[in-house]
Amino acid sequence: MEVGINYKRISTLADLRRDLPFTKEVGYFQTGTYGPTPDSVVQVVASAMRFEANHGPATSTSREAMREPEERARRALAALLNVKHRELALTTNTSQAMQRVMRALEWRPGDEFIVSSLEHVSTTGISWELERKHQVKVITLTADQGDAVFLEGVKSALSPRTRLICLSEIASADGRRLPVAETCALAHEKNVSVVVDGAQAVGQVPVDIRALGCDYYVGSGHKWLLGPMGTGFVYASEDHLGAFNPDYVPERHPWTVPGTPAQEPSARSRAEIGTYNHALVIGLGASVDIMASIGLSAIEARAAQLSKRFRDGLLEIPGVKILTPLEPGTSAGITSFMIQGYDRARMEYLSTNLWDKQRVVVKAQWLTAPPRAELVAVRVSIAGFNSEDEVDRLVEGLRDEIAG
Ligand X SMILES: Cc1ncc(COP(=O)(O)O)c(C=O)c1O
Which positions lie near ligand X, rule CB under 6 A? 33, 93-95, 120, 122, 168, 172, 197, 199-200, 220, 232
The closest of 193, 270, 194, 200 to 232, measured between CA atoms, is 200
| CB-nearer residue toward ligand X: 166 or 354 | 166
Torsion of Cα atoms, 390 then 392 then 395 then 396, to 10°: -110
| CB-nearer residue toward ligand X: 5 or 143 | 143
- β-pair partners for 380: 335
| CB-nearer residue toward ligand X: 204 or 307 | 204
DSSP-derived letter for residue 176 is B
| CB-nearer residue toward ligand X: 5 or 101 | 101
> Count of CB atoms within 10 A of residue 319's CB?
12
| CB-nearer residue toward ligand X: 143 or 294 | 143
CA 178 to chain centre: 14
- For residue 40, the SS3 value is helix
Q: 127 with 138: CB under 8 angstroms?
A: yes
Nearest distance from C-beta of residue 170 to ligand X, angstroms: 7
Nearest distance from C-beta of residue 4 to ligand X, angstroms: 30
- For residue 142, the SS3 value is coil
88 φ, ψ (degrees, to nearest 5): -120, 130
Nearest distance from C-beta of residue 147 to ligand X, angstroms: 18
Integer Cα distance of 21 and 19 in angstroms: 6
| CB-nearer residue toward ligand X: 23 or 33 | 33
- β-pair partners for 138: 113
Q: Which residues of 16-53 are buried (b: 16+ CB within 10 A; e: fewer)?
A: bbbbbeebeebbbbbbbeebbbbebbebbbebbbebbe
188 CB-near residues (< 8 Å, 6+ apart): 194, 213
Nearest distance from C-beta of residue 332 to ligand X, angstroms: 13
Nearest distance from C-beta of residue 246 to ligand X, angstroms: 16
53 CB-near residues (< 8 Å, 6+ apart): none
Q: 194 with 290: CB under 8 angstroms?
A: no
| CB-nearer residue toward ligand X: 126 or 136 | 126
| CB-nearer residue toward ligand X: 33 or 353 | 33
Nearest distance from C-beta of residue 351 to ligand X, angstroms: 17
